[in-house]
């Protein structure tokens, strides 16, 4: 988990930021990205791919990262921006914004995935980076926990969709609620599984962004 970090540190890079995002696939809610700079050479057991952790272990990892990181930044891109930009552009925007929120300028970025960012900072894209780099795994935990907490707060506003449990992903229960009630204001109206439900006999939750009949 420290291979990429130590390899770049041997070349003189010191402030290495791992980047990851959470929330590309859900039908509702924002996409969240995080950038994390950890102390060089220090291994933190339990800082692994957030998807492999239980919720309580992610919460503990979140607190550990916030306490020990040299710096971290978290950025949120709303469902409205996702619908306007598309999810891939919105995810990149979230990552770029997370880097900008760092108070310590990184000299290298380790990015989960295969799509580079538009930045002058040197970067390396790592396929399945959250499983192969501690810095990227730390970013995945901050992004996932932050987004889960956002969706839990939305659950209190829109309880019929059970965002507390599904976090906006397209579970059977969530899709059944969508069929019965139609989308709410935090649904991604450009996503398959949601846009088909903007029928003339249903209220449009965001008419200014999506006039009837003009979903993308």
Q: Is 196 within the bounds of a domain? A: no
Q: Is 161 within the bounds of a domain? A: no
Q: Which H or E element spans position 171?
A: none
| Side-by-side strand order, sheet with 71-77 | 71-77, 31-37, 16-22, 108-112, 123-126
Measured CA to CA, the distance from residue 79 to residue 30 in angstroms comes to 5
Q: Is 199 within the bounds of a domain? A: no
Instruction: Using DSSP, state whether 37 is helix, strand or coil.
Output: strand
CATH number assigned to the domain comprising residue 62 = 3.30.420.10
Q: Is 181 within the bounds of a domain? A: no
| pLDDT tens readout for residues 137-178 | 999 999 999 999 999 999 999 999 999 999 999 999 999 999
Based on the structure, what is the number of domains in the chain? 1
Q: Is 116 within the bounds of a domain? A: yes
Q: Is 103 within the bounds of a domain? A: yes
Q: Is 20 within the bounds of a domain? A: yes
Each residue's pLDDT expressed in tens, for the chain with a length of 216 residues: 999 999 999 999 999 999 999 999 999 999 999 999 999 999 998 999 999 999 999 999 999 999 999 999 999 999 999 999 999 999 999 999 999 999 989 999 999 999 999 999 999 999 999 999 999 999 999 999 999 999 999 999 999 999 999 999 999 999 999 999 999 999 999 999 999 888 666 667 776 655 544 433
Residue ranges making up the domain that contains 13: 3-155
**How many of the other CB atoms lie within 10 Å of CB of 71?**
16
Q: Is 209 within the bounds of a domain? A: no
pTM of this prediction? 0.91
């Amino acid at each position: 988990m420290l291979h990429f970090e130590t390899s770049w540190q041997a070349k003189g890079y010191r402030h290495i930021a791992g980047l990851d995002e959470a929330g590309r696939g859900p039908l509702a809610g924002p996409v969240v990205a995080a950038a994390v700079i950890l102390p060089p050479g220090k291994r933190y057991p339990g800082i692994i791919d957030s998807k492999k952790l239980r919720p309580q272990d992610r919460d503990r990892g979140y607190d550990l990262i916030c306490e020990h990181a040299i710096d971290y930044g978290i950025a949120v891109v709303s469902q409205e921006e996702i619908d306007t930009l598309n999810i891939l552009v919105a995810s990149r925007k979230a990552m770029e914004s997370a880097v900008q929120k760092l108070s310590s300028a990184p000299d290298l970025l380790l990015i989960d995935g295969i799509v580079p960012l538009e930045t002058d900072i040197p970067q390396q894209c790592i396929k399945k980076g959250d499983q192969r780099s501690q810095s990227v795994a730390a970013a995945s935990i901050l992004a996932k926990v932050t987004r889960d907490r956002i969706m839990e707060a939305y659950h209190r506003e829109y309880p019929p969709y059970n965002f507390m449990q599904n976090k906006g992903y397209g579970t059977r229960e969530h899709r059944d609620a969508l069929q019965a009630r139609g989308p709410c204001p935090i649904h991604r109206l450009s996503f398959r599984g949601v846009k088909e439900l903007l029928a003339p006999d249903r209220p449009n939750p965001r008419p200014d962004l999506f006039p009837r009949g003009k979903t993308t």
